[in-house]
Chains A and B, each alone.
Chain A
Amino acid sequence: GESVGLHLPTLSVQEGDNSIINCAYSNSASDYFIWYKQESGKGPQFIIDIRSNMDKRQGQRVTVLLNKTVKHLSLQIAATQPGDSAVYFCAENVSGANSKLTFGKGITLSVRP
C-alpha cells in the first residue's frame, strides 16, 4: 500500500555537526509535506513544511529538500544542538483530499555532547 516511511530508525550526531534525516514517500499525489519534532511525553511540534511546487525551503537552522522525481524528502539541521534530540516525523497530505496527514514511523535523533 502507499505509505510514508523513513530509512533509518536512529541517528546519532556530534553536537555542532549537521544532521540529515531522510524520508521516502510513495503516494505520487502527495503535494504537501511537513516535518514534525516530538520530544518525549509531548505532542508533535511543527518544524517546517514544503509544497510540491518547491524543491527547497529554509527556516531557522533547518532546511527541507523535496525531490519529487524519486519521492524523497529530507530535513537538514545545521549546527545540531542537544535540544534537537527528539523523534522526527515526516508527514504528507494530498491536495484535493481533506487535510488529514499520513505520518512516517519516525527517526530518533540523538545528539552527543
Chain B
Amino acid sequence: NAGVMQNPRHLVRRRGQEARLRCSPVKGHSHVYWYRQLPEEGLKFMVYLQKENIIDESGMPKERFSAEFPKEGPSILRIQQVVRGDSAAYFCASSPSGRAGNEQYFGPGTRLTVT
C-alpha cells in the first residue's frame, strides 16, 4: 500500500535555475497539500490543490512559485529562478477529502539546496 511519494528526495540547484518537485498522493486521494519547512522550524502551508484546481494558495509566495495537480500524473511544485532563501525541505501531503478534520498523510519530502 504505497504512501505519498515525492521525488527527487534531494535537489541541488544554482541560483537562477528552476526547481521542479513532484508528488504522487496516496492511491485514491484527490487532495494534495504542499508545505515548506525551513531548518529548525515547523511546516508552513503553501498550497492546497484538488485535481486540476487550486483551492487555496494563500501560503504561496506571489512570485516564482507555482503548483499544479493535473488530471493525470503527479502534483508539481515549480520554483523559477531559485534563490538561496528557497533552500528548505518541501513536503507534500494527501488526504481522501478536503474537509477540515481529515488526516493528512505526508511524503518523505524533497530537500532543496540552492548554491
A binding-site residues for B, Cβ under 8 Å: 4, 31-32, 34, 36, 41-46, 49, 51, 89, 91, 93-106
Name B residues whose Cβ lies closer than 8 Å to a Cβ of A.
4, 6, 31, 33, 35, 40-45, 48, 55-56, 59, 91, 95, 97-109
Q: Which of B6, B35, B99, B107 contacts A99 (CB 8 A)?
A: B99
A98 contacts B55, CB within 8 Å?
yes
CB closest residue in chain B, given A108: B40
Decide: A31 and B41 in contact? CB cutoff 8 A: no
Known: A43-B109, A100-B33, A100-B56. A94 touches B100 (CB 8 A): yes
A60 CB to nearest B CB, Å = 16
Interchain CB contact under 8 A, B45 and A100: yes
Say how far B37's CB is from chain A's closest CB, in angstroms. 9
Asked whether, in the complex, the Cβ of B42 is within 8 Å of the Cβ of A104, the reply is yes
Contacts A43-B107, A98-B48 known; A32 to B101 CB distance under 8 Å?
A: yes
Are the C-beta atoms of A93 and B100 separated by less than 8 Å? yes
Cβ distance A69 to chain B, nearest Cβ, rounded Å: 21
At the interface, is chain A mostly helix, strand, loop or mixed? strand
A89 to B91, CA, bound (A): 14
> B107 to chain A: which residues have CB within 8 Å?
43
Contacting residue for B100 out of A97, A105, A106, CB 8 A: A97
Q: What residues on B are CB-neighbors of A105 within 8 Å?
A: 40-42
Q: Is the CB of A34 within 8 A of B48?
A: no
Contact of A49 among B31, B33, B41, B103 (CB under 8 A): B103
What 9 new A-B contacts, CB under 8 Å, besides A46-B103, A100-B48, A101-B104? A4-B42, A41-B108, A43-B106, A43-B108, A46-B104, A89-B43, A98-B55, A100-B45, A103-B44
